[in-house]
Structure 1
Amino acid sequence: MTHVWDAPFEEVLRAELPRLAPDSALQASDSLRAAGLDSMASVELIVRLEEALSVSIPDEELGPEAFATVGGLWSVVERARA
């Protein structure tokens, strides 16, 4: 499944998750944990995404599935925009 997300979304991910390979395309199935996301980084990541994308993500959207993969997090952002 191919996901298309905004450039600012990917820019924030790459800035906050330094283990993402800079020269490879992000895939929806890429693990955020493998990219360096931990509980402290997840808070910072959400704050940065909300600022960069002008969204407010409800706390109830921030379950484990939201932080499992790039695609899961993008789905949360899309729902916040709706």
Structure 2
Amino acid sequence: MAKSPMVHAPWNAKFENVLRQGLPGLGTDGKPAADVPMDAYGLDSMALIGIVSGLEKAFGTTLAGQVVIPVHSLTAGQLWGILSTALQPSWDQERPLAAGHRTRDLGPWAVA
């Protein structure tokens, strides 16, 4: 059976730096894969609190109520999507398109 290719990291260095500080299993040279559950790198609920707090501080936003994926299955790519949604300007989130659609899909991990 062929192994699926890993998704490349879509995020910036600031995001990765916060992840590196909160994921002991990465070590100093490891790079998190976008599609691998972060519990493979040592993520637990306490580490997730630290990472979320670090992301909020580093990016000047709040992620309260937005990380609703279970810790054991949360991937770096999903967390980047949650952060990207939080960083999206509010004017873009609420700008209606035809037939009442918003400008983009917030994805299954975002809580409105």
Bigger relative contact order, structure 1 or 2, given CA contacts below 8 A and separation 6+?
A: 1
> Where do 5+ consecutive residues of structure 1 fail to align?
none
Match of residue 46, structure 2, among 20, 36, 40:
40
Structure 1 residues 26 and 42, CA gap change in structure 2 (3 angstroms): closer
TM-score of the superposed pair, with normalisation by structure 1: 0.83
What is residue 30 of structure 1 aligned with on the other side?
36
Cα separation, 1, equivalents of 2:59 and 2:69: 21
What is residue 68 of structure 1 aligned with on the other side?
74
> CA contact under 8 A between 1:65 and 1:72: conserved in structure 2?
no
TM-score of the superposed pair, with normalisation by structure 2: 0.63
What is residue 20 of structure 2 aligned with on the other side?
14
Task: Give the superposition deviation at 1:2.
Answer: 3.6
> Where do 5+ consecutive residues of structure 2 fail to align?
1-6, 89-112
Task: Give the superposition deviation at 1:65.
Answer: 5.5
Residue 32 of structure 1 aligns with an amino acid whose one-letter code is M
